[in-house]
Amino acid sequence: MKHKTYFAYLVLATLLTGCLKVKSKDEAAKATLKTKTQVAQPQAVIETPITNELLIEEVNFNTVGQNQPNAYSINFYWLKAKSHLRISSGGKVLNVLDAKTTQEWNLINLRGGSTYSILIEILDDQDHIAGSKTLEIEIPEDRNLTKVVRLAGDMKITNGRVFMDEATIITGSFKLEIYTKQLIVLKKSVIQNYLPDAKAKVGTAGRDGGSVFIQADKAQGELEITMNSEAGGDGFKGYESPACELNAGLGCMLTQVHCEVGGYGYPAGRNGDLIVKVKEAVEFDLTTPDQFSFGGEKGPSMNENAPADYPVISTRYDGTPDTCVRGGVQPNGADATPGKKCLMLASPVPQPGCE
């Protein structure tokens, strides 16, 4: 009896397990089916047909400068349309473009300082001319500064782009002004008033440095600007004169003779003024070192051992006679004095020195 009961229990358990497995398979199938029905199918994109005709007024252009002097291109651009565009110059067709697939075209390798006559034509489906216009396009001329440039007078540069390529500009006492949209320094260049060894002749005061003014929308590259002046000339050499011995005191001043003591040294000039204003200077490396020239040395004396009561007369740096002194020596000339310096790089706010 016990064996029969156990066998019946075993059969019942087997049937229940089978039912559970079938139910699990049915649920899995439903879940899989449900998941598949949730996947979104891609929909076909229907493009709107282009029906508008291109108008000649919708064709525009701008000039684009390359990163070298007097090298430009013209960029033509227009709206998307079903028309064709024919571009010609000098009777030669340069290109025919489909306005549906192309909305711009570049005419390259153009020379700065030139004028180009460009014919623009709009063609319909039958290649009939639906509109046209002729453009007289002036390409701006760049200024290219190279090697050593010595100013012989004031210089004012107003080109749209100014290039400097290992240039050294010596202004002397003249004024240099640069007004430009772009200042492009290809290789490090230098602007300075005088070379470091510039010195006035004997008995002459040093000349002042000229001013430098630069105003640009954008500047790039490495530029060094040194404002200085000409060193003062040395004093006149003293020489012997019998009149000095005969005209001591007041008489010495009245005779205005040069005696054994050398003259005053002459002063150096004033450094030039510097003003630089650049709106965009992210790639602009500007250095402005200060350099001060020295005054001239006093003139050499013929007799350095003249006694203190030895009557002598000398000459001031401005050419007027000095008071009659007895013995001793004259001073050297005064050194250079600084000029104004104003640097405004990407800053609309006035900086120190720009007041």
Residue for token digits 């009896």? 1
Return the pLDDT at 323. Answer: 44
Separation CA 203–CA 119 (nearest Å)? 68
- pLDDT at 143 > cutoff 90: yes
Return the pLDDT at 68. Answer: 94
| HEC string for 22-75 | HHHHHHHHHHHHHHHHCCCCCCCCCCCCCCCCCCHHHCEEEEEECCCCCEEEEE
Q: Does residue 278 or residue 303 have the better pLDDT?
A: 278
Separation CA 157–CA 155 (nearest Å)? 7
Return the pLDDT at 42. Answer: 63
- What percentage of the chain carries pLDDT values higher than 70? 68
- pLDDT at 190 > cutoff 60: yes
Nearest CA-CA partner of 251 in 241, 261, 263: 241
Tell me which amino acid residue 120 is: I
Give 84's pLDDT tier (boundaries 50, 70, 90).
Answer: very high
DSSP-derived secondary structure for 101-128 = T--EEEEEEEETT-EEEEEEEEE-TT--
Q: What is the pLDDT of residues 69-80, one digit of tens each?
A: 999 999 999 999
Backbone angles phi, psi at 70, to 5 degrees: 55, 35
- pLDDT at 126 > cutoff 90: no
Helices (H) and strands (E) in the chain, counts: 3, 18
- pLDDT at 194 > cutoff 60: yes
Q: Does residue 121 or residue 254 have the better pLDDT?
A: 121
Asked whether the beta carbons of 137 and 59 are under 8 A apart, the reply is no
Separation CA 278–CA 180 (nearest Å)? 10
pTM for this model (two decimals):
0.71
Q: What is the pLDDT of residues 216-259, one digit of tens each?
A: 999 999 999 999 999 999 877 655 444 444 444 434 444 444 45
Show the domains of the chain with their CATH numbers: 56-138 (2.60.40.10), 143-345 (no CATH)
Q: Which of 37-46, 110-119, 251-260, 332-341 has the lowest mean pLDDT?
A: 251-260
Return the pLDDT at 76. Answer: 97
Give 38's pLDDT tier (boundaries 50, 70, 90).
Answer: low
The side-by-side arrangement of strands in the sheet containing 84-89 is 92-98, 84-89, 115-123, 129-138
Pair of tokens at residue 305? 């051992």
Q: What is the pLDDT of residues 279-303, one digit of tens each?
A: 999 899 999 998 999 998 877 665 5
What 3-state class would DSSP assign to 19?
helix
Tell me which amino acid residue 78 is: W
Mean pLDDT over the full length of the chain: 80
Average pLDDT estimate for 156-168: 97
User: What value does the CA radius of gyration of the chain take, rounded to a whole number of Å?
Assistant: 44
